[in-house]
Structures are given as C-alpha cells and as structure tokens.
Amino acid sequence: MSPMPYASLSRRVGVLLLGLLLPVASMAQDGTRARARELGVAPGIFAPGRFNAITDVAGVEVGQVTLVEGDNIRTGVTAILPHGGNVYRSRVPAAAHVGNGFGKFIGTTQVNELGELETPILLTCTLCVWKAADAMAAWLLEQPDMQSVRSLNVVVGETNDGGLNDIRARPVTADAVRRALSTAKSGPVQEGSVGAGTGTVAFGWKGGIGTSSRVLPQKLGGWTVGVLVQSNFGGVLQVSGAPVGRELDRYAFQQDVAARTGAGKLADDRGDGSIIIVIATDAPLGDRNLRRLASRGMMGLGRTGSSASNGSGDYVLAFSTAESVRRAFDAPRLETTELANDQMGAVFQAGVEAVEEAIYNSLFMATTVSGNGQTVEAIPLDRVREVLRRHGIAPAVK
C-alpha cells in the first residue's frame, strides 16, 4: 500500500495533522501529560510490550489524522490495519461484542456472521461513519489485486464528539481517511487528543485515543495482546481502585446524590457517551474464542468506573493476526491451528489488563481542548497523583 500524495490536504488552511507529526506514544502533546505507568499505575500482573501499544502485536499498524479547523472543528480519523498486506485477500479471524448497542459500528454484523475481518478498522465521529466507510471502500478498490472485487465489508466505529466538534458539518473528508490508511505504521502510537479522539470526553474530562499491551510469559504461550480505545464515555472514575472521580468532585449522577453545585459539577450527567475498544493478538484464535476475548473487554472497561450507561455505545472488536488462522478469501476449505479453550485464561487476563490501562492512557495523555464554543479540561494529573498516593498506589514524590 503506497503512501498517498500530500498536496491536496496541505492546501487546506488550518488543518493540523497532529497524528502524523507527533507519533511517539509516550510523548505528551504539551509536555505536561503522562501515561499511566509514569503515575505508578500498572494494572494487573503481566508485563507490557516494547511500546505498550496495540502495535506490539507484530504486523498491526495505526494511522491517525487530526482535524482542527477554525473554532468549531475538532475531530479526526484513526485507522487500524491488522497486517501490512491485502486484508481482503488475507483475512484475519475476528469477532465483535456489544456491551451496549447505542451506537454505530458499521460492518460488525458480517464480522460476527462470517467470523472474519476483510478490511482495516476505522474510528471517527458519529455523523462521519458513512463518509469514512465510503472513502475506505473507494481507497481499497483502487489497490492492486482488487479490480474484480464487487463487495466489501468495511468496518467503521464511532463515538459522538458533538460537544467540542461541529459534528453536523460532517468534517471528515475522503482525503483524511486516505491519509490515515496510507500512513499507518507500526511502532509508537500517539495518544490523547488526536485522531478519532480529538473531540472526545471521558468521565467529564478530556478523553481520546489510548493504547496498551501485554505479553504473556513463555510458559503461558508468549502471546501478545494489544488494545486501542477511543474513549468518550462517563461514569465514576476509579484508577486501580482509587476513587479518583469522587475525590476530584466530578462523576456521573453527582447532582442527584450530592445535591450541590461547584466547579467540578457536571450538568445533568448520566454517564452517557461511548467507547470503541479494539483488541489485537498474535495468539492463534478462531472467531469463537475471539468473541469470548472481546466480551472480556467490558471487564476492563468496568474496572475504570463505567456502568455502560443507557446512552453509551460500548463496542469491542477482537482479531487475531496469527498466520495459522489466516483465511484466504477464495480458499475452498480452512485448515487452521487454534489455541485450545483451556489455554484462553491468560489471554483473557491480558486483555482485561490492557483495556483498563489503555483507557487510563487515553485520559491521562489528553490535553485541554476548546472548540464549538466549549472547553473540556484535561484531567489534572497533579491532583490524580495526590489521590493515588493517599490510596497507596502512586509512589511518594521525592
């Protein structure tokens, strides 16, 4: 997949492609942000991979385009490619789990019916999913060895960034989608207010893109599980069990249970919003066990304080990159070697841990964003550190 030319988008005044300019996962956009582990938050028992990102799963690539235009456009696109080849010709087994179906995740019914993914995955804003799907279909049909293709099951998820972003303008363009796809790469993944997370909100603070990974010990298979999230949901934030939302005085249903007003007060908050969770692994899993893995993503989400509110679209999609389970699109029969059910426990554990940490990273790496007449503040990490220290989680400052 060759890179697309840059000329057309460069002529668009005011568009910042932050997802391309600042790719390093551990680098904060403003120098003041930090990933969860820098705060002493390391959920679970398994170690992360080299980048602590979904791209620790060999072959997985991520591309992001951030759109910031004038006073009202704060959105973008995040693309996840399961491998560097033609995904339509070399399909990966996949499955989707719906925690709460108040949202749009194009293509997931066919993913679950056939148990496979035949295109990259795109994340964007709610009213742009159809534009993004159309743009990805056009881009894929132009690729070599796709000239005879007459059907594509493009997969596009969303969360609603209509607070900070003029979502009715449907600002995501085909050019932005093509750039996210054609510039996707392995290695570090930028987090926070970038790509599809540019205008999102989580727990009343600025949300965004977050990622994490886990590598199992060799005696447990040595498999890698990587996660990327687009966080835009609510609830009562807890970090490794510490009641951060309560102690920072910002949480769902606050006006009903606290009956007071203040700077931290959220207006009529019911914990609504959405989250898309993408889980990748090199463990050789078929779609049945991938569906089981995807369902465990909700456990990682719950650990952060979400209750999957009525108005929250909570979706998890899992796929395996293992060569032994790949599916050629025209194969007359499938001969695969899959992990046995009894070997799934550690993979489930790794998935839950990585989801939890990816959500923390999306929150801690996000920066304050103003747009569409509103400002959503980044969660104050100095105060988060204080809460964590009081609860014995973060080390004391020397």
Catalytic residues: 274, 312, 314
Of 60, 30, 19, nearest to 322 (Cα)? 60
| Amino acid symbol at 102 | F
Q: Which of 140, 65, 33 is nearest to 381 (CA)?
A: 33
Instruction: Count the neighbouring beta carbons within 10 Å of the beta carbon of residue 31.
Output: 7
**Residue given tokens 């704060």 in the structure block:** 74
Cα distance between the two ends of the chain:
49
Contacts of 330 (CB under 8 A, 6+ apart): none
- What stretches of the chain show up as alpha helix (H) in DSSP? 7-10, 18-21, 108-114, 129-141, 174-182, 244-247, 254-257, 287-303, 345-364, 381-390
How many CB atoms neighbour CB 323 within 10 A? 14
The per-residue b/e assignment along 247-276, b for 16 or more CB within 10 angstroms, e otherwise, is bbbbbbbbeeeeeeeeeeebeebbbbbbbb
